[in-house]
A and B are shown apart, each in its own frame.
Chain A
């Protein structure tokens, strides 16, 4: 089937590709990745579903404007590595984004085919070409601009910091990334589980950055191990980017939360992903399997926690205060969680935890109903008076969101923060301090990988302009 000869009608007749995946029973007992990815034939066929519509709504739906029709056309021609390079023009982490972006509310939802036929599987294609390029050692080191002699420090090695580092090193600056933990990647390494984003991929991306010349210095908590002033005055950096994420776990402030067996999702997932607690005792950090685990929350973090607990052998219930349609997680994660046998207690909210000898044994919840829409436009959940019920459990994982971690920001007197502790920036991601930029979750609050990367890209362009004495992006002369 030659790509060019098909009519739009024929293209629309091709059924949407389905990625082969591990069957639910098998995968609920292992930590290997769930979907296997498309085959080359599947990818080429899927690419032919793209009708190359003129207005390209998919590109508008992508927070960083990936050249979607162009890369899909390359896939249709079997030019997979070229397609990967096309994506990398705007998105330096396609293997990651293909796996974790909420495509169903971004590019794929915008696709002209979405309503009647299902959008082109842009995420699956993105993943396929990135994997193809990496697995076949076709990753090319792009040509770097000649050295500018400028030094940039990036604080935090999450997706936003990695984007800034990658962009600026290619523009000829000397870039060093400082990371508090012992491995680079931010949430990609400590939060998102192996079965959804294999750590090999994150390591390969970091390795790629290193091959571009980015220096990574682990185990440095900026603010404690060194100060921002030192970065400028003693280490001679010309500019600093802050991408420290929103890693402060929230608790519900209900009775019993301090008992053993109650975890923040951050702790639970860090023990599992970063510390390899699921391999205890080969690895030393314990992550004892629960029998009956309740996960509170309805986002990606809740799904990841629930599916991790399931893999450790527990019966898992997700407790969420709103209704099903309002679950903020990627739809694929909800679907996978259900397939794996995770129970959902919707319109339910914990009011108290109880336990014995300092260890949790259960949770009291109240049933909720939906009222008027709130600020977020979603109907507000309201407790139904007297509608209490109990769930027995031996572990509770709180996945109800996170806030701004003040460890760094509180050491920077001149840095303007908003009332929640997030950093204030302008449209070019400049902070109130000269030569300091910020982006990602520490500016927006917990958001997505792609938005963190988008912010990194904006900041990198602005930093480059400033360092080179060029007009700022968005100003008239630029």
Chain B
């Protein structure tokens, strides 16, 4: 049945891989698109990037960070159980062309999200360099799969325990220093990473796409919750995006809108955790170690 869970496992601390039955979605999915699911009958509609799909098996794969109530509920579902609803593929597919050398930067769930991009850009005959960032070495995942597609995989860790010490933007500097000519860049992950990475590609004028992850409700262009400012124009991320020119995105606005419900998210988390340890969650990105903004 559509939405039945095949695999729901932790791949590294706090990041889980979810494989779901979804034949129609698997058949139509294109790189850069996402799905929206509701974990249970009282749940919220939450978007996740399609990180892989198999049309013959009729399955899709997403990677998710346990961030709050919805993802906590999701993490408790077992194989054989089903999410309450699942819809997709949503959003405009990423434009994939032969441009030369393509840099794909991923952080947090983006380590999953850039895999279909790597595959598609490679198929078009591009040279693909993948940059994977995490707080520390053991939080890197999906490296082998991406390695099968990418010409080069560069790891960046905030604590320097593996690869480049630092973040995606620091790794971009290293690439530039070694004289690598990059024709196109695409970043998927937490907002902070996408912003700082876009800033790093701006001086050299590298065309840069980011997959924005604004808050959404319907995901079909009906509510406007997902609106973002790009080049001074209001766009709906769910139908006009989620891909946008990283140099034109109004990042202050993206950050502000992402925080619209921080108070409610905390309240909801505590409400659902009240029987457990009453932990107050961290609003930052737990995977890459970014502080709450």
Interface residues of A (CB under 8 A from B): 180-182, 218-221, 224-226, 247-249, 251, 253, 257-261, 263-264, 266-267, 270-271, 275-276, 280-286, 288, 357-359, 405-407
Contact = CB atoms under 8 A, between A and B. Distances in A.
Given A258-B234, A270-B217, A288-B261, A358 B253 contact: yes
Contacts of A182: 38, 45, 84-85, 87
Nearest to B93: A224
29 contacts: A182-B84, A219-B85, A224-B88, A224-B89, A225-B88, A248-B222, A249-B224, A251-B224, A258-B229, A260-B259, A260-B260, A261-B260, A264-B225, A267-B217, A267-B223, A270-B218, A270-B223, A271-B217, A275-B45, A281-B264, A281-B267, A284-B42, A284-B43, A284-B70, A358-B259, A405-B220, A406-B221, A407-B220, A407-B239
Contacts of B38: 182
Nearest to A250: B224
B222 A266 contact: yes
B256 A357 contact: yes
B222 A225 contact: no
Contacts of B263: 288
A284 B88 contact: no
Contacts of B225: 263-264, 267
Nearest to B42: A283
A405 B253 contact: no
Interface of B: 2, 24-25, 28, 38, 42-45, 69-70, 84-90, 217-218, 220-225, 227-229, 234, 239, 252-253, 255-257, 259-261, 263-265, 267-268, 271-272
Contacts of B44: 275, 284-285
A258 B220 contact: no
Contacts of B70: 284
Contacts of A261: 260
Given A224-B90, A275-B217, A407-B220, 16 more contacts: A180-B220, A182-B38, A182-B84, A182-B87, A219-B85, A225-B28, A225-B87, A258-B228, A259-B256, A263-B225, A267-B217, A267-B223, A267-B224, A281-B264, A285-B217, A288-B264
Q: Which 10 A-B pairs have the closest CB atoms?
A: A358-B256, A286-B264, A267-B223, A219-B87, A284-B44, A182-B85, A247-B222, A264-B224, A281-B271, A260-B260
Contacts of A219: 2, 85-87
B268 A284 contact: yes
Contacts of B261: 286, 288
Contact of B87 (A220, A258, A266, A285): A220
A221 B220 contact: yes
A229 to B, nearest CB: 12
A253 B233 CA distance: 9
